[in-house]
Chains A and B, each alone.
Chain A
Amino acid sequence: MNNKEINSIIIVGGGITGVTVASAIAKSLPQIKITLIGKDNDKSEALSMLPQIHEFHRQLGIDEKALMRATQATFKLATIYQDWNNLGHRYTQPLGPHGAATEFVGFHHFATKMHQLGDKTAYGEYALSAVAAENNKFAHPLNDPSSIFSTMAYSLHIDATLYKQYLGNHLLQGNINFYTENVIDVCLDENNGFIKSVTLENGKNLKADLFIDCSGKDATLIEKALGFSLEDWSCWLPANRVLSVSIKSKGEVMPYTQVSGKTNGWLRQVPLLNTVEREFVFNSEEVSIPEATEIITTGLSQTTFTEPSLREIYSGQRKQHWHKNCIAFGSAAGEFESLEVSNLQLTQKAVQRFINLFPDQSCNQTLVNEYNRLTKLELDNIRDNTILHYLSVTKKDSTIWNQWRQHSLPESLKHKVSLFNIHGQIASYEHETFYDGYQASTFIGLNMWPDKYDPFLDSFDIENLKQRFNYLRAAIRDTVTKMPSHRHYLENFVH
């Protein structure tokens, strides 16, 4: 026990990433003195999260009801894709599973066989979360495996600004020091390359044992001071701008995120309690701001939406997320268009991983390596999942997309695609975010049906299976009919 524990941390970046990281560390290691530096430069944003958020909240001791009440949050059961592959294409990607377990053979093989027999049932009809989403219904899942509600899975849509305030009020109040000045200088230790201190605009010099870079694209510490550049993914994920508006809304609340394909980009709608947040994700060489504004405001009457706001994004990740006594989270570490995984989700997972490997003052290189290894694996897998969504898109036609087509895919994704294509098997890699069934449902939703289904399916009595699954579909429909509407449930829940 020769090394000293970390007593003080400086976090550079006062946006939602910084606050999330500070909250998680303050909760797990309250003895550490945390200083948060920097203004909040975040543009307003609606977050569409994955079920992994529940574990994060559990660890932070956050009560779902209280949080939802304070943040305009709504429930999320699925993502519904509209006009994705081409005009008129539509599918639901639920957060919960499809079908019931058939021993050994994944449910999607059954769907593949039915599809080959000419059956037109949408795959989503076998998932309670999907059907509930499509009907604007919601109810919490149950733990009891004998209940159909055990197949529900959900997450949340949250307003980022309110979420940040909530975390700040509940986990940081009185526990940490805030500075709103910018960092203008970073001082390194000549002997070991560790960061020693940072200097603020007002001349103040602040020291700490550990420095966390949450400064967004600026990457004040990890790039500007330490020189770690980005691994660029824009050849695979070319979007670099997000234009967003907030639209007032009454009436039904969608319990899902909606994603619509457009000729040169995609449009996302995230429902909050009284607004819908609409974003258009595109590449600035392809689409001008007026064009993007046109796309995002089509069909809206002047009085119902806010001034569009523009965000720059990039696609890539830091070559090293953690180096010596400096670690980066959020956009300082990596980002790409958040089709299924928001960047904050990545931060939540990353900070949990970091706390599990929390260093002492020496920042042992083995811990650093392990963290970087796991983080890279996770991001590579999610990147592949995102690129996958573009493989089935047929209508894109522009310089950018023509270049895109010429670029060869990451080897890991190539393998994944060809394996699924053969007979619907999933190549799962270490540290996947999405379970096998979820990945299968993405392939099927994108109409990338496998050539064949698992040969072992033929040892089952197909009539019997059909009956079983028809019964399941009926039970799902029935259950959903009896479920309360999302708005109704929400209002009862938060009041």
Chain B
Amino acid sequence: MIKNIVIVGGGTAGWMTAAALSRHLPEQCNVRLIESDQIATVGVGEATIPVIRTFNAGLGIDEQEFMRETNATFKLGIRFQNWGEIGEDYYHAFGYYGFPINDVSFHHYWMKMQKHPDTAPIHEYNMPYMASVYDKFEHKQFNNDSIDSRYFYAFQFDATLYAQYLRKWSEAKGVTRIEGKVTQVSQNNDTGFIESVTLESGECIEGELFIDCSGFRALLIEQTLKVGYKDWSHWLPVNRAWAVSTSYENNNTPIPPYTRARALTAGWQWRIPLQNRTGDGNVFCEQFLSEDKALDQLLENIEGKPINEPRLLKFNTGKRKKLWDKNCVAIGLSAGFLEPLESTSIALIQGAILLFIKNFPNKDFAPATENEFNRRMDIKYEESRNFLILHYHMTRRNDSEFWDYCRTMKIPEELQHRINIFRHRGHIAHKDSDLFIEHSWLEVLFGQGEKPGSYDPRVDTVEPQEVRRLLAEMKMDVARAAKAMPTHNETLARYCAGDLISNRNSK
């Protein structure tokens, strides 16, 4: 069995990989992680989606402790402003619209009844949506049978603190951290396999398996192995981000249980609330908006005061042609970049780690293992990519060149197929491997103003009166449950107060 594993890079990807490997690998395996204090991590990946909980649970992490130490808040979804059209506002909440009736999804009944005066806007039948609207959050286990706990949650946390938390955790499990900058990589003359990396200090570190978590540099997978990059920027053209942190106005400022994504003229701006501050950033396309103007735009749009110098990040949407080549696997930004609109990056890191563990190679590095990993990762990246493109393409905005481009661009066939299916009768062509559930697609499609031509004909077999009664009941249950929930601030204070709350108490 492979015993000597070297991880290059100590950002979120590096430490998540180290933690998972040290949790599951047999003791005789040796995991070493190299990171350089000279090269900063990206560290802005702060918003997650619900699968992160599976990852943490797999490590046996205590949720309260983890939330305290990373200044984490709960996340029920993402609020999208100005996407369909300026002035529009919707949430992609991690849950469902109503209950199915006779095996047919709720939204078909709603579509039939939408013109009826008793029928409310569809989001009023969605529990996490309504909780988000009122800044409420209650910590509950998912229960499919009960409308008031039929939702998932994720976190918003300080990514740097999360990496530190996992570092502590991994080191306790025996991972060795090596500080130093890799300056040279040696390959086997015949096979091209990586044999060792050499640090600035001259120290040479040998390994049987190398995991490239070196971020955008892609030190091993691209600079060394030159696998090539599949560029997707014609579909997702944003390529710059200004990031800054801001303070809350005062101690009573409500902390929303969601991330905000506000569309601007050439991209969009995020606002990610943590316990002690918010993370803000303007993600834009430099061909449509200059860096200076984008910075002005960001600073105009933030709510609190900046507490650090704005940072500029550059990227290009796409992915490596192969994430696994020879004895090297790329995880994190070295593998590819998808913009943070739906907070998919950390989820993709996690997905890659789990898939890699499942297909952990033998010393002979049989091709089928590598092929399987690459095949499955391709699917994951493409599906996440398509979900992102959906947000840009399904717009009616025509107020800037950027939106004109997005609205009229040709999109991947598979996505077009899904959109066509929805437009016809409101069906979602869902796949087992999708990162998001069917109702996530629905929320975005409805949210961006799409209206299907008709609904599932089985709806007509239920008496309209009965449908009205059921709809009214669900709406009431949601409203009642949302009202009864504590605010997000209250839940945080009780469950996992970290920095802000302790500051508050000391005042």
Interface residues of A (CB under 8 A from B): 1-3, 5-6, 28-31, 59, 103-104, 355-358, 360, 364, 366-367, 369-370, 415, 418-419, 421-423, 425, 427, 430-431, 452, 454-456, 458-459
Alpha-carbon gap, A370 to B24, bound state (A): 40
Cβ contacts B1-40/A at 8 Å (1 or 0 each): 1100000000000000000000011111000000000000
Residues of A within 8 A of B28 (CB): 458
User: Closest B-chain residue to A2, C-beta based?
Assistant: B453
Residues of B within 8 A of A425 (CB): 358-359, 369, 372
Q: Shortest Cβ distance from A410 into chain B, in angstroms?
A: 15
User: Closest B-chain residue to A30, C-beta based?
Assistant: B461
Q: Is there contact, CB below 8 Å, between A430 and B421? A: no
- Tell me which residues from 419 to 458 in chain B have a Cβ below 8 Å from any Cβ of chain A: 420-421, 424-425, 427, 429, 431-433, 453-454, 456-458
Report 18 cross-chain contacts, Cβ distance below 8 Å, ordered by A residue: A1-B454, A29-B458, A358-B456, A358-B457, A360-B457, A364-B420, A370-B417, A370-B421, A415-B372, A419-B359, A419-B372, A422-B366, A423-B360, A430-B432, A454-B360, A455-B25, A455-B360, A456-B360
Residues of B within 8 A of A369 (CB): 417
Interface centre among B358, B368, B420 (most CB of A within 10 A): B368
Alpha-carbon gap, A84 to B43, bound state (A): 58
Alpha-carbon gap, A369 to B420, bound state (A): 11
Closest 3 CB pairs of A and B: A458-B26, A418-B368, A366-B420
Q: Does B63 contact A (CB under 8 A)?
A: no
Other than A360-B425, A364-B425, give 4 A-B pairs with Cβ distance below 8 A. A1-B453, A29-B461, A31-B461, A459-B24
Q: Does B371 contact A (CB under 8 A)?
A: yes
Q: Does B192 contact A (CB under 8 A)?
A: no
Alpha-carbon gap, A302 to B493, bound state (A): 83
Q: Shortest Cβ distance from A17 into chain B, in angstroms?
A: 22
Q: Shortest Cβ distance from A208 into chain B, in angstroms?
A: 16
Known: A422-B368, A425-B359. A367 touches B424 (CB 8 A): yes
A-B pair number, CB within 8 angstroms: 96
Q: Is there contact, CB below 8 Å, between B424 and A364? A: yes
Interface centre among A6, A59, A367, A455 (most CB of B within 10 A): A455
Alpha-carbon gap, A419 to B370, bound state (A): 10
How many of B's residues come within 8 Å of A, CB to CB? 38
Alpha-carbon gap, A282 to B374, bound state (A): 40
Of A1, A355, A459, which one neighbours B26 at CB under 8 angstroms?
A: A459
Interface residues of B (CB under 8 A from A): 1-2, 24-28, 58, 103, 357-360, 362, 366-369, 371-372, 375, 417, 420-421, 424-425, 427, 429, 431-433, 453-454, 456-458, 460-461
User: Closest A-chain residue to B102, C-beta based?
Assistant: A28
Q: Is there contact, CB below 8 Å, between B369 and A422? A: yes
Q: Is there contact, CB below 8 Å, between A28 and B362? A: no
Q: Is there contact, CB below 8 Å, between B458 and A366? A: no
Q: Is there contact, CB below 8 Å, between A358 and B359? A: no
Q: Shortest Cβ distance from A495 into chain B, in angstroms?
A: 32
Residues of A within 8 A of B359 (CB): 419, 425
Q: Is there contact, CB below 8 Å, between B427 and A360? A: no
Known: A370-B421, A422-B366. A28 touches B461 (CB 8 A): yes
Residues of A within 8 A of B427 (CB): 356-357, 367, 370
Alpha-carbon gap, A357 to B417, bound state (A): 14
Alpha-carbon gap, A427 to B460, bound state (A): 41
Alpha-carbon gap, A30 to B461, bound state (A): 7
Alpha-carbon gap, A423 to B429, bound state (A): 33
Known: A360-B454, A422-B368, A455-B2. A31 touches B460 (CB 8 A): yes
Q: Shortest Cβ distance from B452 into chain A, in angstroms?
A: 9
Alpha-carbon gap, A29 to B456, bound state (A): 10
Q: Shortest Cβ distance from B151 into chain A, in angstroms?
A: 23
Q: Shortest Cβ distance from B483 into chain A, in angstroms?
A: 33
Alpha-carbon gap, A421 to B368, bound state (A): 9
Q: Is there contact, CB below 8 Å, between B58 and A422? A: no
Alpha-carbon gap, A415 to B372, bound state (A): 8
Alpha-carbon gap, A356 to B459, bound state (A): 12
Residues of B within 8 A of A422 (CB): 362, 366, 368-369
Known: A28-B461, A422-B366, A455-B1. A370 touches B429 (CB 8 A): yes
Interface centre among B432, B453, B456, B457 (most CB of A within 10 A): B457
Alpha-carbon gap, A492 to B164, bound state (A): 63
Alpha-carbon gap, A455 to B1, bound state (A): 7
